[in-house]
A and B are shown apart, each in its own frame.
Chain A
Amino acid sequence: MAKNVRISEVGLRGVVGSGLSAEHVVDFASAFGSFLGPGAVVVGRDPRASSVMLREGVLAGLLACGREVIDLGLVSTPVLQHAIRRHSAAGGISIGASHNAAEWNALKFLGAAGTYLSTAEAGELLDLYHLRRFAFVDWKNIGRLRMEDDALDLYLEDLANAFDFPALTGYKVLVDCANGTSGKILRRLNGRYGFRFVLINERMGAFAHEPNTSASTVALQLAPLVEPMEADAGFLFDIDSDRVAMATETGEPVSEEMMLPLLADHLLPRSAAKLVITNLSTTGLVEEVARRHGGTVIRVPVGRQAATDALAMYRPDEIAVAGEGTGAVMMPRFRFVYDGIASMLAVLSMMRERGAKLSQILAGYPSYSILKGQLPLQPRRIPAMFAALERRYADGRANSTDGLRVDWPEKWFHVRVSQTEPVVRVICEHRGGPLRVLFQELMDQVRQYAS
């Protein structure tokens, strides 16, 4: 059986028992405990069975490095990031594989501000990991573990300051928790603040469906229930609640690409900041929305690492919103942390302020059609493939910062090598109807270079 593990600047990710091993976990936690500046380390995990195993290894490595460890238990990544800032901790580790299938797991490393490590920092962590020369302390200085159970409440208090909660409690909202960490958060919002979230797939544990936030997953269980339940909207979260997807009150799944333009439209007019940061694969609607408000779109390579590095290149007060076409959006009010719950509350606020239904708001945007495909990778032939594509589409404006993106007025394509899987991804978008001919043409060409 093929083994699946990837160790990179993004952290440790793999299939547990078939690539990702206990040894990886203990080594990485030891490296992180050796890497960080002085201070405590905050740890949280998602509800995967294997996360319990990963947690034990993470605690062992951190305690051996003399770290005080604050364990939040089962929490979303945004709650963990919030707790890191609240404690002025040295950093944190989020245990969980987010939107990946159940057999996967991962360690995500967070710095002192609760944000992901920069590429330079992550590179240093990797060096320590590979050297396996860890800063273990003697028995007198061994770390201590502390459990903390009020992290969720303190996070919610922060959200309550940012949003007009009483104004939003009138909405009846159906949520597909995908058996992840969002259920606990939404239950608490109902109990403590009187929200009316109706939850499906709430129980943490086995996944009722793949936990990704694509429109096709929304269509599985959430969308068909919204109208019969007479809900005002439907939302679906991934396991660690940093991504979110939507369905309208009429039961229509909304493209995952819509979350960023929607929130850009909401946030740009309310702020002096005019920059929108997104990646090369995200919908062109972002530019169109930004132009309406005099904003500018910065496009960076795909992946969390490029987004993290890009954020550092601008003053925080210049950035209105950042995100990607997967439903992962970060807002300045929340210190640029991908936060699905905050994104959902922003959409509900938008509905409330405009006094409009979700379907009506979405109808105000032109239609963009995006087609996505992938083919197995043949690494040796990748340079030749890009050279051929660039020659073939020389009439467009080429951008080769991440694979090849070619733009024409009202249409573009992006062909790139995935950082997480051994595949080539092909994305093609057009304002108006779908571009099936161009998409098929691209897929055929890429296939010639695929394995």
Chain B
Amino acid sequence: MPREHLLKIGVSGIRGVVGPFLTPQLAQAFAQAFGTYVGRGRVVVGRDTRATGPMLQHAVHCGLLAAGCEVIDVGVLPTPTIQLYTGATGARGGLAITASHNPPEYNALKLFNASGLFFNHYERGELLDIYHQSGFREASNAEICSVVQERTAPIRLHFDRVLAQVDAERIRAKKFRVALDAVNGAGAVMTPQFLRDELGCELHAIAVDPEKPFPRVAEPRPDTLTELSALVKKHGCDIGFGQDPDGDRLAVADESGQVLDNDDVLAIAVDAVLARRAGPVTVNLTTSMAIDDVAAAHLAPVNRTAVGEANVVEGMMSSGAVIGGEGGNGGVIFPAVQYCRDSYAGMALWLDRMAGTGRTASGLANALPRYHRRSATVTLEHGWLGTVIQRLAAEWPAAHRDRRDGLKLMLDGAWVHARASNTEPILRLSVEAKTAERAEALFLRAKELLSTSGPPSAGPASPVPTQGE
């Protein structure tokens, strides 16, 4: 059996390939469990532009109505917009139907509490128990509420929240020429309006039709944003933005069309915020050391958390961080707008920084301290995790060890981080160093040590390698 995870129901919610695996039955039952958990009241529901979105949204409405909730249907909207609106309208909770950056055959339910935040670990556990116990709340005819459509208020709210945190007048005065690739995702319904009408940019946009399928790989990365690079060059744009289908992640191309490293995207956002206000920064363990340098220049402390948006948000809340995010995947989290990854906050902060410093996008990026990063995924057989992690620890005995999420080894001017994925049977390896040579050497050695081709050399018991079928 191939170890493809076509359906996953767990603490991160429900995600899978729609049709034979992620069925309307599962979506309805999960939504009814959600409605049972949050209680009778308003629940905000929105989605990205996936073809399977409307079907799953009807199933989600069915489950919520059956549990006695009133449904606020916000239609196609970016995930951060849905979160913001959930938190601002006194709703009991919210649901976004989106598989984020995953391929189009996937879809998923993202779950938000009354504040519009991702469910924390304990909330997710309780919801999952209700789902498995199937003792759902069932409303009678007299208790069943209606579906209310609300399309414009969430967009306005999101724009206003973001614009209040930057010098919008100064950005408008610059009349930036901006390229956009919205992957025909949820951003398509509001990003052009945001950049053109709210920030006064001259916009050159592709993939802004929410009715059409994703024209590229959904995850915005340098290798998937070639069209954006070409667009920047063709129109001589000052900057290019690439979104993922649910508008939480942001990729940035500079004026030469080069797509920047996601850690640099976050670093400039951090710099932009710290230039306006003092306070701590929170990022995950795999985020670049460039953040430490940027924060140090503003005398701001940096806290690190386990990987995952929910972990970073929890860390930010407990430390009172003014900015944070996840470097690896272009997630800027700006609490003054909302505790969630938000490409709109990211876009506004970038334009604000360009307007404030008078620098070009490449000028901003090139001014960042230069680090070299390598990352890879390594297939992991069950039973091998302890073995390979111990090998890694033994290789660099002098390193400072951080065991909050797998193992991160802090070396002098470099680090190695290996962690097991929560969603797939793989290890994610990331390495960063001052020089490309050192990064490459550390990366190759770590990758070799993580390989499970040889017999395990340590660990409580020798696992039996599974035979291929």
Tell me if A139 and B65 are in contact (CB < 8 A). no
Between A and B, how many residue pairs show CB distances below 8 Å? 127
A102: chain B residues within 8 A (beta carbon): 141-142
State the CA gap A27–B107 with chains docked (Å).
20
Tell me if A60 and B51 are in contact (CB < 8 A). no
Tell me if B23 and A64 are in contact (CB < 8 A). yes
A246: chain B residues within 8 A (beta carbon): none
Min distance, Cβ B371 to any Cβ of chain A, angstroms: 39
With known contacts A63-B54, A139-B52, A103–B23 Cβ distance under 8 A: no
Q: Is B232 an interface residue (CB 8 A)?
A: no
Q: Is B58 an interface residue (CB 8 A)?
A: yes
Q: Is B140 an interface residue (CB 8 A)?
A: yes
- What 1/0 mask marks residues of chain B from 1 to 41 whose CB sits below 8 Å from any chain A CB? 00000000000000001111001110111001000000000
- CB<8 Å pairs between A and B, sample of 11: A16-B140, A16-B144, A21-B138, A22-B65, A22-B138, A54-B62, A56-B58, A60-B59, A64-B19, A136-B19, A138-B18
Q: Is B157 an interface residue (CB 8 A)?
A: no
A413: chain B residues within 8 A (beta carbon): none
Rank and list the top 7 A-B pairs by shortest CB-CB distance, nearest first.
Answer: A60-B59, A22-B66, A57-B62, A53-B65, A56-B62, A63-B55, A60-B24
Q: Is A49 an interface residue (CB 8 A)?
A: yes
B56: chain A residues within 8 A (beta carbon): 60
Interface residues of B (CB under 8 A from A): 17-20, 23-25, 27-29, 32, 50-52, 54-56, 58-59, 61-63, 65-66, 104-105, 107, 136, 138-147
Q: Which of A15, A30, A50, A102 has the most chain B CB atoms closer than 10 A to its own CB?
A: A50
Min distance, Cβ A4 to any Cβ of chain B, angstroms: 11
Q: Is A18 an interface residue (CB 8 A)?
A: yes
Total residues of chain A contacting the partner, CB 8 A: 38
State the CA gap A447–B286 with chains docked (Å).
78
Q: Which of B50, B59, B136, B139 has the most chain A CB atoms closer than 10 A to its own CB?
A: B59
A48: chain B residues within 8 A (beta carbon): 141
Q: Is A134 an interface residue (CB 8 A)?
A: yes
Min distance, Cβ B67 to any Cβ of chain A, angstroms: 8
CB < 8 Å neighbour of B25 from A27, A53, A63, A143: A27
A21: chain B residues within 8 A (beta carbon): 66, 136, 138
Tell me if B141 and A26 are in contact (CB < 8 A). no
With known contacts A22-B62, A26-B24, A145-B54, A52–B141 Cβ distance under 8 A: no
Interface residues of A (CB under 8 A from B): 15-18, 21-23, 25-27, 30, 48-50, 52-54, 56-57, 59-61, 63-64, 102-105, 134, 136-140, 142-145
Tell me if A64 and B24 are in contact (CB < 8 A). yes
With known contacts A56-B147, A63-B54, A22–B20 Cβ distance under 8 A: no
With known contacts A23-B28, A49-B144, A139–B63 Cβ distance under 8 A: no
State the CA gap A23–B29 with chains docked (Å).
7
Tell me if B147 and A52 are in contact (CB < 8 A). yes
With known contacts A21-B138, A49-B144, A103-B141, A57–B59 Cβ distance under 8 A: yes
Tell me if B142 and A139 are in contact (CB < 8 A). no
Q: Which of A139, A143, A144 has the most chain B CB atoms closer than 10 A to its own CB?
A: A139
A138: chain B residues within 8 A (beta carbon): 18-20, 105
Min distance, Cβ A102 to any Cβ of chain B, angstroms: 6
Tell me if A17 and B139 are in contact (CB < 8 A). yes
Min distance, Cβ A112 to any Cβ of chain B, angstroms: 23
A60: chain B residues within 8 A (beta carbon): 24, 27-28, 55-56, 58-59, 62
Tell me if B25 and A30 are in contact (CB < 8 A). yes
Tell me if A25 and B62 are in contact (CB < 8 A). yes
Min distance, Cβ B261 to any Cβ of chain A, angstroms: 32
With known contacts A23-B28, A26-B59, A139-B18, A103–B140 Cβ distance under 8 A: yes
State the CA gap A143–B59 with chains docked (Å).
14
Min distance, Cβ B100 to any Cβ of chain A, angstroms: 15
Min distance, Cβ B68 to any Cβ of chain A, angstroms: 8
B136: chain A residues within 8 A (beta carbon): 21
State the CA gap A144–B29 with chains docked (Å).
22
